[in-house]
Structures are given as structure tokens and as C-alpha cells.
Structure 1
């Protein structure tokens, strides 16, 4: 197995970085552009493992996909995917797999099989499958009910009223919303459980609106009328989750980091990370991007926070909390156990290796900050966010080694290159 040693930084940092485009926006825009008629151009679309796998899957249904250095050109198919009998491999891309499952259910042709890595085939799909079947989708789980691999026969979706549990993932709701404009009757989605990760649903609604579709929301019900997405030339903003690692570097090391291409009015919920760092003792300013500053003479402080709206930020927050004075209590994220790995267990296990006191809760973590963090070999569990978060902790700890560093390709292929600029 490959490994990468992280060298600590000496003294405060001052850095200006530009991170790649948002993975969450890119994957939502890909679905909308594929269903639209005409050519869409997605400027600064993220080129990484997850969106590339989704783009390849869409191409297998008749969508024209052209990659360039700075953009994706998508030739839409007007709401009618063509199923080609191929096996579609989605890696460990849970978002892409759930979106594609709903998208392909609109199609016609020879049934296809959607599959992925062993871990993706262990992640939950049951609530989404049941909702799509209620809309008339012909879906057959080939090994275990509620899980990939799934045979998709297509035939279109009826729409109408459907009940949906979103306790495990908001992606189930986003998947139904994205195809809602193309169901035969108005799509009425009633939630049967509290919604986790609400900002990701808001992001879905915002991207749908950019492509010309509107959704009505009343209490726990979403109504999507028959509409058509319009092709767009769309500038995709920076990935707020990717930005979080470099903002965390300023918090941990001291000094100042600016992420140049993340706007103050970002569509992404994870842009809230700068505000979380301000609660811990950092200064946050916005000009051409977002800047986080920490005076090295001022210590970070622990906080008590519900991260249910921002689950992808938990590994990053956890490594910052490891150096903060007092306890940090992270709540409201039981659904993190269904991600690329059980992220709560993974973060707790690796922090303990570094001799950071941590208690694992059913829905979160309690982390006691310490000045006696030790470097360790960090198992990444093929989880990009574990690798990147602990790499940032390595900026203030001797002897931090990241195993399987290539797993960052899932969302941030040039992470190590940009991390290297902090040493300049």
C-alpha cells in the first residue's frame, strides 16, 4: 500500500488557494443538463472520480459528453434516456448512483445493471427503490433487497404521491426531485421521517431552478409539476467541502488562508465551515473569496454543535477540535455511518491513534482537545475525507503518515499539489 508522510509547517502560514469546482453541484448539474434539450456548458465542473463516473454513465444512455480543460459540454436527450443493456459501474459514488438510478428509471430500451464497489453495494438504497417502484419503476435487486447491484428496466415514471424516508440520506429526496419534472403526473413527495442534511436538498432545488424547473414545498411535502430543463451555460462555484481543509489549516497552524473562488453567497451548506471556525476563535472575512485568520497567540476553543446540516465537514472539524482548548461535542450526524465508510467510527479510531481523547456517540463525537497529539499511520478506509482531514492535522504534528493517499481522487485529485503550496 502506498503512503504519504506529512511534514509539519513551521510558523504561521499565509496562503491564497483556489480549489476545484463543487462535486455536489457538478453531479446535480450533470443530471439536469442530461435531461435538458440542447447543449449545456458546465464551466469549472469538477473533474474527479465521482463526477467522471456519473458522466460516463450518462454517456452510456445517449448523452453526449465532451471534456475540456475547464468545462464539460453536455448534449441533453430531452428527458428520454436510452438504456443500452450495459453494466454501469459507479465506484463508491453514492450520490451519483442514487441520482442515476432515478434518472435511468425514466429510460427505455434494454435493461441495464447499476453496480459499484463492495462498499457502495453495502450502502442503503431501499427507501429510494421503494419510492421509484411506487412510481412504476421496474427495479430488481440482484443480490440483496434494498442494495446494489440493481437491474433497471426503465419504462418511465408515473409520478403522483409517494412517501419517502430520508433518515439515512437526503440523496433519496434529491434523486426524486431531479427526475420530478419528467414524471407523467405531478410528483408529490411526502417525507415520512425527519430530513437529514437539509442544505444538500436546498442545493438540489437551487440547481434545478438554474436549469428552469421550480418546486413547491409545503411543510414536509415537495410538489414538482411537469416541466423541461433548459440547456444552460453554468459557472460552477468552488467546492466548499474541499475549501474546508485549507481553512482548517489556518485554524490549526495559525496565520491566514484565503480560498479565492468560494463566494460569500455560496449555494453550498458546507460554506458554513468558516462561521464554525469563527466560533472556535478565528477571524473570518469575505472579499474575493473567504479568508480565515487565527492569531497564533490566541488558542482555539471547543464548541458544542449540531452538524446534521453539514455532515461532510465532521472529519475536518474533528481534527481542528483535537487542538482546541476544552471539549468539542459534535451531534446530529448518525447518517455519517452510511458514507464511504462509517465516518464516526473511522474518525474516532484514527484520533485515538494520535492519542486524542475521543468518545464515540450514536450520533456524533466528543473530542477533548490536547497539546500532546502524536503522529500515527492513518488508515483512510478508502475515504477521501478521512485522508484530507488527517493530512491537515499533520501540519501541526510530527510523524503523520497517510495510507492510500490516492483515495483523494474521488473528489479532489490535486489536493496534495495544493497542500504543497502551503510550504512555499
Structure 2
């Protein structure tokens, strides 16, 4: 489908069962492949990104069997991949590409890793530089500092590694997951402010489920005592995706609600769970349970009751913060989202793309290197705007919320297959006609 017309909705109400977390799914798949023993992975997200990881692991000789729709059995390789030479295509899946580069460079073998054109525009120099500190052999096959890459066997020399913290937390996560393969004590020092810290917390939590302990000091120094090896926990369940929850929670806040998401709750390890706190600051009513979150707009005291603008440091919710940008269209005042420089190196330059598309709806936008400022139109949203999505799943899902105020066309809606293939079907279930 080239485009999808969304009619204006009169509100939002209902219950949504979330798909599994992309971040957790790909981390668990990789750790299960590296572990000793067989792991039964339940509630795995089925999407383009996880398919890229599954295909890569199978190409590397790991036996993976699909037990049911979302349950997979992974035969761990005990810290080694049977296939020592392979060409791996990973699409635009950063959660597959970055950690596999780190693991393969330390494990040893001859590999080439590539992706779609956008992946070849996403910087990876900081990860490569860190791996080269260990004497890993990683070569750029195209532009310096970007994929595609070639990895060759090398004698790894374990030493203290330094890495920048302000480009992508996936670089640090990749190193953390790979370093136990050396069998020795390893230390990583982060230079500068670590962005997207909750995603690193998520990595450490999944590693702990596979028996690897890491100590950290002020999120600037990480130590992995050696030797440690990954051990299968036997069975592991992937919780619902907190980033995906943001669209439905926002719909509940904008459209009155209540809207409840199931599969993620107050005990979640995902940083994007705090998106609900941001909605609360905007005036939404939020309630949480162990495995669910619900949002609504408090009873209207006046005819013009609505959400209110916020000024927020979004370092802790970089993906879900995109949903705040479209939610801001329904808030009184000017919303400022700060510390979002990582948006520029995602599936597209998300600050630039978001600014361009928000302007189509009549919003006043100011953008900077690491912030965006949104003032909604004085009267109503421009109806029948045609929104370009830049082959970015989050752009498509964020701008679907516009339909709570005006009819809108979403170009290339199929890009949501990256993380949430049936998103628009789930959305239609809660939209009131």
C-alpha cells in the first residue's frame, strides 16, 4: 500500500495487547545464541528487525526452531558461531547490526556486514574505534566511519576500552554483550554524557538473565569480571514493547480514553515506560498495574479543557519522545523536547523529518541540533495533510495520532513492519467514529 487515509476520529477508547519489545527481542536472541544450552524464547516480536537478527544467526550456524507464532527455541553455540565466514545483510536493523559487529569482531572469523542505503549513512566509527583498541580487524568497505564493514580474524588484546557516550547507546550495549567472549576481565570507560541510559540498563538486565554480571560506576565505567560465560536460563519471556505503548497511551490522553495497553507495566525494565510520566505532566490521567498502563483525559471541567505543553529533557526516552512531538499538536502552549541529538542518526534524520511534517499541519516549529520546539496551530490542524514517513516506522505511527484532530494521509504506511506489522489494525480498534 502506497498510502493510507485515516478519517478524523471522535476519540479513543479500548484495550491493546502490545507486541514484544524489539530491544529485548534482539538482545535475547543474540544472548541465547551465545549461551551454553537451549533457550525457549516466548512472546518474541515478529517484525523486520527481529527477522534480520534471526536470519543472521541462522546464517552463522545457530539452530533456531519456531515452536509457535511467537515462541522460538534457540540452540546456543557456547560462545562460538559454527560458521566462520559469511556475508550478512541486516537491512536497517541497528539493534542487530551494532551488537553483531562487536560480537563477530571479538569472536573471530571473516565476515562482511551490510544493510540498506540508510544503514550505510548511520555512523559506526565510535564502535569500530573501540574494537580496534582491542586489536580487532574491522575495515570500512565504503565511506570511512560507516557501514558496510569487513571483519577478519585477529588476536584480541584485552585492555581498558574508551568509547564516546553521546552518539548511540547501541555501541556500548554491543561491547558489553561481546566482551564476555574474551574470557577475561574487561573494562569500558565512557567519555562524555551517556545518552539513552535506560537502553544500557536494559542490556545489563538481559545479560544478568544469562548469568553475566557487570559492575558500573556512575554510568561512566563498566567492569566485566572474568572469566564469565553465558548460560541459558532455560525459558525466557519477552515483555511488551514500551515504545509501541506510547502511541496508544497518547491516543488515550488526546482522545479522552481510557486506553489500556497490556504487556508492559510498572515493573518494566524499559526506559520508555516513563513516557507515561511525560503524559501525566501534560495533564493526562495515568494508572499502572504490574502488566498494564492506562491513560485518559480527566473529566472536562470547561469546554476548552486540553493537554498542556511541557519542556522536557528526553534523554531517557529517545524513541517515545517522538510521540510527544505529535501529542504536542493537541496541547496548549509551546512544547520543547530537548537532548534528542540521537534522533538525527536513526532510521532517518528524525528532527528534520518531524519538523517538516509538523509544519504541514499548521504547527510553528523551531529545530536545533538537539531539540525541537512545537507550537500547535492557533485554530485547528490543517485537514487532509499528506505525511511522508521517510521509510521510518516511528514517523508513520506518530503521525497516525493526527487523526484525532483532522483527517490525514500517511504515505508508505507499510514501513511499520520494522517493529509493529499490525499497528494500524490495532489503532483502528480503539478509534471512535
Which residue of the partner structure matches residue 349 of structure 2?
Answer: 342
Unpaired segments ≥5 residues, structure 2: none
Matched residue SS, 1:82 = coil
Superposition deviation, residue 85 in structure 1:
2.9
Provide the aligned length of Structure 1 versus Structure 2.
Answer: 421
1:290 aligns with 2:293: yes
- The root-mean-square deviation of aligned C-alpha atoms, in Å, is 1.5
CA distance in 1, matches of 2:120, 2:430: 38
**Aligned equivalent of 2:404, options 395, 406, 418:** 395
**Aligned equivalent of 2:320, options 313, 330, 347:** 313
CA distance in 2, matches of 1:201, 1:64: 28
TM-score (normalised: structure 1):
0.96
CA distance in 2, matches of 1:108, 1:365: 42
Matched residue SS, 1:158 = coil
Which residue of the partner structure matches residue 117 of structure 1?
Answer: 116
Superposition deviation, residue 152 in structure 1:
1.2
Q: Which runs of 4+ in 1 moved over 6 A?
A: none
Which residue of the partner structure matches residue 385 of structure 1?
Answer: 394
Which residue of the partner structure matches residue 407 of structure 1?
Answer: 415
Conserved? CA contact 1:88–1:112, under 8 Å:
yes
Superposition deviation, residue 82 in structure 1:
3.4
Deviations for 1:158-193, whole angstroms, at most 9, x for unmatched residues?
Answer: 332011112110111000001121114311101122
Which residue of the partner structure matches residue 333 of structure 1?
Answer: 340
CA distance in 2, matches of 1:383, 1:156: 39
Superposition deviation, residue 228 in structure 1:
1.0
Deviations for 1:308-353, whole angstroms, at most 9, x for unmatched residues?
Answer: 1111012210011111001111111112100100101111100001
Residues 389-398 or 409-418, more deviating: 389-398
CA distance in 2, matches of 1:255, 1:184: 52
Which residue of the partner structure matches residue 82 of structure 2?
Answer: 82
Conserved? CA contact 1:250–1:257, under 8 Å:
yes
1:38 aligns with 2:47: no
Conserved? CA contact 2:393–2:418, under 8 Å:
yes
CA distance in 2, matches of 1:37, 1:103: 16
Conserved? CA contact 2:46–2:70, under 8 Å:
no
CA distance in 2, matches of 1:59, 1:258: 37
**Aligned equivalent of 1:355, options 344, 359, 362:** 362
TM-score (normalised: structure 2):
0.94
Matched residue SS, 2:195 = coil
CA distance in 1, matches of 2:159, 2:325: 42
Conserved? CA contact 2:364–2:375, under 8 Å:
yes
CA distance in 2, matches of 1:198, 1:143: 30
Deviations for 1:74-98, whole angstroms, at most 9, x for unmatched residues?
Answer: 1110111234432111111112100
